[in-house]
Each structure stands twice: as structure tokens, then as C-alpha cells.
Amino acid sequence: MANDILRLPRRGGLLRGLLYAALVLLALPYLLTPLYAVVNPVSTLMLWREATGQRVVRTWVPLSKIDPDLALSVIIAEDGRFCSHFGVDFAEIRDAIEDADSLDDVRGGSTITQQVVKNLFLWQGRSYVRKALELPLALWFDLVLSKRRILEIYLNIAELGPDGEFGAEAAAKRSFGRSAASLGRYQAALLAASLPNPVTRDTKRPGPGLRRLAGLYERRAARSPEAAACLRRGR
């Protein structure tokens, strides 16, 4: 009996410790977000690859050193309302739910901001738990950081090559032998079209499907330059 009584406080202390640890983990992304206004982050996938001895190539470049055609093409391809929503595109989520037969069939609706917070703080793969964490964090990220900074981070942490190439600079040099600042419109559209799976969509040796998709994004970008208007305004 005495031993059982002694174990109860110990168990309670362990549970409190686990609870505090969970709260710290939940709060950490919110505390780190303001730092990312000036600190250039790495993604969880980059950290995992480095920890497991896999190749990681990334050269951080500011948005001013990335061809505007790439910024526009990525917005067109990944998040057409990037400049008008607040981190989460609720209209897109509603449309995705309406088009699905059940919640398990829901696809799409993930904004650039959501992809950034997922890549920085969360894990890959489909999960309701991850989505529940991702949505409020994306709203916070958009509130704290400018649109320019969010896209700058995205274009420097996104996986854009089949062998550990991350960010626009590494991808541009691998695929086209030039910097991200000197891409042509079609090359920019090709990189945008390689998302979200640059492992199978190799921009160095694009197949007919990837070339068609790039052509589509190139035409859409030419018709919709206003999709990147918030980048010029700095917000």
C-alpha cells in the first residue's frame, strides 16, 4: 500500500512533465515565427536528410535575386489567391470539400503559407492532426510576416530537385545551368510545374506531360500578372 501511494505522485509528476513538454512543442512554432522575419530557416525535410546522411543542396537568395517570373509562376501553380487570403484559402477548402464524395476524398486547398509552415514545423503526409495544427499556424504566419517574406522563404525551402536540391537557386543551376535571377518565362514555369513532386517531375529532362503543364502555367501567368501584385507592394 505504501509503495502504491508513493507511485501516485511520481506518475502525476511524469504526466505534468509530458503535458508541459507538449505545450512547449505546440507553442514553439508561434514563438519562432517572428524570428523568421530576419532569420533564414531550414525545413524539417532538409534537417532529416542531413541527419540521415542524404544530400542537401541549398543556397539562400533573397526574393530580389529570384526572377519575378518564377515568383508569379509558383503563385499561379500553387496558390492563385495568395495575395488576397490571410494564410488559409477558405473558399478553396470549401470547394474541395464540395467536390469530394467524403472527407477522405478531399484534395487540394493548401496555400503557399500552409506549405511553408508544414515544411518548417510539421511533417509530410496526409493527416487530420497535421491539418488541425497547420491551419491556425498558417493564419499566424500570415499575420506576422509579409507576403514577400513568406514567398521568399517558400522559394528557398521548397524541394525543387530529385536529389536533395532545395530552393530556387539550387534548382535553377541544376536544371538550366544559370542562377534563379536569370530564368526565362518557360524555365520559371517548368520549375513551378515540378511542384509538388520534383522527384518524378524532373525539370532537367522534362517529359511531355511536364512540358504541357509548364506551357499552361506560362500562359496563365502572362494573363494574370496581378496575382503577384502584393509582392510589389511589399505586403
pTM (2 d.p.): 0.88
What is the predicted pLDDT for the residue at 102?
47
**Do 82 and 227 form a contact (C-beta atoms < 8 A)?**
yes
d(CA 191, CA 63): 16
- Residue predicted with more confidence, 16 or 7: 16
CB-CB contact of 92 with 101 (8 Å):
no
pLDDT number for residue 103: 44
Determine the Cα–Cα distance for residues 153 and 150; give it in Å rounded to an integer: 5
pLDDT tens digits, 65-81: 999 999 999 999 999 99
Closest listed residue to residue 71, CA positions, set 130, 170, 143, 152: 152
Query: What are 187-191's contacts with CB under 8 Å, separation 24+?
Result: 188/67, 188/69, 188/70, 188/72, 188/73, 188/218, 188/221, 189/69, 189/73, 189/77, 189/214, 189/215, 189/217, 189/218, 189/221, 190/214, 191/70, 191/73, 191/74, 191/160
Q: What's residue 98's pLDDT?
A: 60
